[in-house]
Amino acid sequence: DTGVSQNPRHKITKRGQNVTFRCDPISEHNRLYWYRQTLGQGPEFLTYFQNEAQLEKSRLLSDRFSAERPKGSFSTLEIQRTEQGDSAMYLCASSPIRGGAAKNIQYFGAGTRLSVL
Amino acid sequence: GQQLNQSPQSMFIQEGEDVSMNCTSSSIFNTWLWYKQDPGEGPVLLIALYKAGELTSNGRLTAQFGITRKDSFLNISASIPSDVGIYFCAGQSGTSYGKLTFGQGTILTVHP
């Protein structure tokens, strides 16, 4: 396994369009996280899954955002009616649930850079 | 959203010099992590700290988990050009399903 995989790497869209990103976590990692990172800032937490269950959503995740992890493996993040303020890097991370302290380590994908024109 | 206070914001150093950066928070964290991010890529884990007072090394990198559990620092010794990048601290509390709270990052430039 080569790590967390995110597709596409780049997405350019027009304001008002819907976009969907995909994240494939490291095999057997039960936990999956989505973060958003804008230029010059650190990543900010959006939402978190343990297996299929979405256990926490940030206030940053407006009604236009929805995330799913239907089979407990890959996850999708959809943004409806995109706005220019949605332009950012969207990062996915996964972590194992077993292994003592190792359960806290999150491994990140390369991200999807979204540009809304 | 909440972020940790990370300093300095940027550093310009000569190859071979040592580097120190730190992170402070008003909240207690159970885990401190340090990541490095290259342009257009995701953060890569450098060091993880799990106990207050813990000092951990990874090659030329050394990090410490503050006694108060509200701060951490990262040192890089004998810097080399490939150390260039953005360094982020991240804290994890025990109460929120493992979400990470990140600092604003320290941009490191190393002149050969």
- Block mean pLDDT (10 aa), chain A, length 117: 90 98 93 95 94 90 94 94 97 82 80 97
Taking the CA of residue A46 and the nearest CA in chain B, the distance in Å comes to 9
DSSP helix/strand/coil, A84: helix
Backbone angles phi, psi at A27, to 5 degrees: -55, 135
pLDDT along chain B (112 residues), means of 10: 84 96 93 94 94 94 95 97 96 78 96 90
B100–chain A Cβ distance below 8 A for any pair: yes
Q: Using a CB-CB distance cutoff of 8 angstroms, which residues of chain A are in contact with residue B97?
A: 31, 48, 50, 55-56
What confidence score (pLDDT) does residue A100 get?
63
pLDDT, position B2? 57
For residue A60, what pLDDT is reported?
Answer: 84
d(CA A17, CA B78): 49
**Are A93 and A108 contacting, i.e. CB atoms less than 8 angstroms apart?**
yes
> Of A60, A50, A53, which Cα lies nearest the Cα of A106?
A50
Judged by DSSP in three states, A102 sits in helix
| Phi and psi at residue B82, to the nearest 5° | -75, -5
Cβ distance B104 to A107 less than 8 Å, yes or no, reads no
Q: For residue B63, how many C-alpha atoms fall within 13 Å in the half-sphere facing its CB?
A: 27
According to the model, what pLDDT value does residue B95 have? 64
Q: Is B66 in the A-facing interface, judged by CB distances under 8 Å? A: no
pLDDT given at position A99: 59
Q: Which residues of chain B are within 8 Å of residue A104 when distances are taken between CB atoms?
A: 30-31, 33, 48, 50, 92, 98
Tokens of B63: 């990090």
User: Residue B73 is encoded by which pair of tokens?
Assistant: 């620092």
